[in-house]
Amino acid sequence: MPLGTLDGTPPPFFRQGPSALSKLVFFGALALLLMVADLRFHVIQPLRSVIATALYPVQWLVLRPIIWGQGGSQYFESLNRSQASEAAAQYQLGLQSQRAQQVEQLTLENVRLRALLDMRARVNTPALAAQVLYDAADPYTRKVIIDKGALQAVAAGAPVLDEVGILGQVTRVYPMVSEVTLITDPDQAIPVLNTRTGARGLAFGNSSLSSGTLELRYMDAHVDMAAGDLLTTSGVDGIYPPGLQVGRVLKMERRADSAFARITAQPIARLDGSLHVLVLQPLAGQLPARPDAPAEPGRGRKVGKP
């Protein structure tokens, strides 16, 4: 190769351009000029809008996981808050329901106590207020236990009534409590009077303990008795004061093969729902003593010897 054909210029790698300092000054001045121009004349605003529009899909894709994570955490936080609020609301609702039931119970008890006080004012017999504690454990009897006993001068045989009628009779007395046999017990009997006709009878507890009714036994088949008649105590037994409500006649059956009618009555007193009762003093303790029988003529005289 001839020497004249050789290129004497240095290769590009070894070429020397502007110095680094001059480049720094140039590009720094250009950047400062562009910032001033953009601040004054907004010359870069169209370019910025184009770049922002082009980069928006990338930003949207990059931000999706972050937004989804924040949304999930907010969902679970709101779910926990909602569950906590619901639990608190349910608790408050339970308290309000309990208070409402207590108010209803107290209102009903107040009404019954007022009626019981009114009954006490109408009865001209010494009475003692008592509270029913529980039913007797014997499933074959109809008995309840009250919170008054011998220490409160409760006597065996004392009538027991609620605010509407006769409930039963004290059959056993303990120092602190007493046992009351309800009028629907099969072994209990009470003399009654039909207020419409004046017919007297004897009401027994129904032999079927589940019925909760009374039976008027040994009543003539032709007696004047009809459904709806009010039965009250007659007072002839010396235990129950007269005029206290006992029950109402439910039905009367006259049978051709029997001389007695079959009469069923419904007690007026709340035998299963009474809480406060009155214990009356037995009527026999208030009656005057029976006078002595007059001496027969000729008795008590000493006959002298002739």
**pLDDT reported for residue 303:** 44
Strands 214-220 and 200-205, by their bridges, are antiparallel
- pLDDT, mean over the chain: 80
pLDDT in tens, 47-78: 778 888 888 888 888 888 888 888 878 888 88
- CA 299 to CA 306: how far, in whole Å? 19
Count CB atoms within 10 A of the CB of residue 228: 8
Retrieve residue 87's tokens.
Answer: 């639990």
Question: Which residue shows structure tokens 């050789």?
Answer: 6
What residues pair up with 253 in beta bridges, in sequence order?
Answer: 262
Question: Which residue shows structure tokens 């005289």?
Answer: 301
Q: Assign 12 a pLDDT band (cuts: 50, 70, 90).
A: low
How much of the chain exceeds pLDDT 90, in percent? Answer: 17
Q: From its phi and psi, is residue 238 left (phi > 0), alpha (psi between -120 and 50) or beta?
A: left
Burial 151-185 (b: 16+ CB within 10 A, else e): ebebeebbbbbbbbbbbbbbbebeeebbbbbbbbb
**pLDDT reported for residue 169:** 92
Q: Assign 4 a pLDDT band (cuts: 50, 70, 90).
A: low
**pLDDT reported for residue 179:** 93
8 Å CB contact between 161 and 112: no
**pLDDT reported for residue 115:** 66
**pLDDT reported for residue 203:** 92
Nearest to 228 by CA among 196, 204, 203: 196
Answer whether residue 27 shows pLDDT above 80.
yes
Q: Assign 305 a pLDDT band (cuts: 50, 70, 90).
A: very low
Q: Assign 271 a pLDDT band (cuts: 50, 70, 90).
A: confident
Answer whether residue 98 shows pLDDT above 50.
yes
**pLDDT reported for residue 75:** 81
Nearest to 217 by CA among 226, 206, 230, 204: 204
The most confident of 9-23, 98-112, 195-209, by mean pLDDT: 195-209
Average pLDDT over residues 241-251: 89
Q: Assign 289 a pLDDT band (cuts: 50, 70, 90).
A: low
How much of the chain exceeds pLDDT 70, in percent? Answer: 78
- CA 169 to CA 233: how far, in whole Å? 13
- CA 126 to CA 286: how far, in whole Å? 10
Q: Assign 212 a pLDDT band (cuts: 50, 70, 90).
A: confident
What residues pair up with 245 in beta bridges, in sequence order?
Answer: 232
Average pLDDT over residues 143-172: 90
pTM of the full predicted structure?
0.57
Q: Assign 247 a pLDDT band (cuts: 50, 70, 90).
A: very high
Q: When comparing pLDDT for 146 and 88, which is higher? A: 146
What residues pair up with 200 in beta bridges, in sequence order?
Answer: 193
The most confident of 43-47, 49-53, 290-294, by mean pLDDT: 49-53
Answer whether residue 92 shows pLDDT above 70.
yes
Answer whether residue 111 shows pLDDT above 70.
no
